[in-house]
Amino acid sequence: MDLDVDLRSVHEARCLVKQAREAFLKLKEYSQEQIDRLIQVMAETAQNNSLRLAEMAVEETGFGVVADKVAKNLLASETVYEYIKDMKTVGVIAEYPERKVLEIAEPVGVILGLLPTTNPTSTLIYKALIAIKSRNAIVFSPHPAAIKCSVETARIMSEAAVAMGAPAGIIGCLSHATMEGTDELMKHRGVDMILATGGAAMVRAAYSTGKPAYGVGPGNVPAFIERTADITKAIADIMVSKTFDNGTICSSEQAIVVEDVIKEQVIQELRRVGCYMLNAEQKRLVEGVLVKPNGGLNPGIVGRPPQKIAAMAGFNVPSDVRVLVAEESGVGRAFPFSMEKLSPVLALYTASDWHSACEKCIEILNYGGIGHTLSIHSRDESIIREFALKKPVSRILVNTPSTHGAVGLSTGLAPSLTLGCGSWGKNSTGDNITPRHLITIKRLAYGLEEVSAQTAPAQINQGVSDEILKKVIQQVLEQVAV
Cβ atoms of 118 and 342 within 8 Å: the answer is: yes
CA 131 to chain centre: 16
pLDDT score recorded for residue 259: 97
Adjacency order of strands within the sheet including 253-259: 275-277, 323-327, 345-351, 253-259, 221-225, 371-377, 393-398
What are the tens digits of pLDDT across the range 335-367? Answer: 999 999 999 999 999 999 999 999 999 999 999
Residues β-bridged to residue 256: 223, 348
- State phi, psi for 446 to the nearest 5 degrees: -90, 150
Q: In angstroms, what CA-CA distances link 220 with 40, 51, 77, 204, 419? A: 35, 29, 26, 18, 13
* Least confident window among 171-175, 212-216, 378-382, 440-444: 212-216
Q: 199 or 107: which carries more pLDDT confidence?
A: 107
Amino acid sitting at position 351: A
Q: Which of 23, 9, 26, 28 shows the shortest CA–CA distance to 185?
A: 9
* 224 C-beta neighbours (distance < 10 Å), count: 27
SS3 at position 282:
helix
Residues β-bridged to residue 291: 297
pLDDT score recorded for residue 390: 84
The model carries a pTM of: 0.90
Cβ atoms of 53 and 152 within 8 Å: the answer is: yes
Amino acid sitting at position 295: G
pLDDT score recorded for residue 24: 98
Distance (Å, whole) CA 108 – CA 20: 12
Q: In angstroms, what CA-CA distances link 264 with 227, 229, 240, 359? A: 12, 14, 21, 21
pLDDT score recorded for residue 472: 63
pLDDT score recorded for residue 454: 64
Cβ atoms of 169 and 22 within 8 Å: the answer is: yes
Domains of the chain, CATH where assigned: 3-216+433-441 (3.40.605.10), 221-416 (3.40.309.10)
Q: In angstroms, what CA-CA distances link 82 with 30, 43, 242, 363, 371? A: 21, 10, 26, 38, 27
Residues β-bridged to residue 444: 102
Residue 118 has pLDDT above 70, yes or no: yes
* 42 C-beta neighbours (distance < 10 Å), count: 26
Distance (Å, whole) CA 273 – CA 451: 71
Distance (Å, whole) CA 476 – CA 110: 51
Distance (Å, whole) CA 252 – CA 320: 21
pLDDT score recorded for residue 276: 98
Residues 6+ apart with CB under 8 A from 456: none
Distance (Å, whole) CA 154 – CA 175: 10
Amino acid sitting at position 193: M
Distance (Å, whole) CA 377 – CA 238: 10
Distance (Å, whole) CA 247 – CA 245: 5
* 478 C-beta neighbours (distance < 10 Å), count: 9
Measured at the CA of 242, the angle between CA 350 and CA 127, to 5 degrees, comes to 130
pLDDT score recorded for residue 216: 80
pLDDT score recorded for residue 288: 95
What are the tens digits of pLDDT across the range 431-474? Answer: 999 999 999 999 999 999 888 876 555 555 555 566 766 666 77
Q: What is the 3-state secondary structure (H, E, C) of 225-292?
A: ECCCCCHHHHHHHHHHHHHHHHHCCCCCEEEEEEEHHHHHHHHHHHHHCCEEECCHHHHHHHHHHHEC
Mean pLDDT of the chain: 93
Cβ atoms of 57 and 406 within 8 Å: the answer is: no
What are the tens digits of pLDDT across the range 298-316? Answer: 999 999 999 999 999 999 9
Average pLDDT over residues 279-306: 94
Residue 1 has pLDDT above 60, yes or no: no
Residue 82 has pLDDT above 60, yes or no: yes
SS3 at position 91:
strand
250 is an active site residue: yes
Q: Which of 149, 173, 250, 358 is catalytic?
A: 250
Residues β-bridged to residue 326: 347
Cβ atoms of 395 and 370 within 8 Å: the answer is: no
Per-residue pLDDT band for 43 (boundaries 50, 70, 90) equals: very high
Cβ atoms of 372 and 395 within 8 Å: the answer is: yes
pLDDT score recorded for residue 58: 97
Average pLDDT over residues 398-415: 97
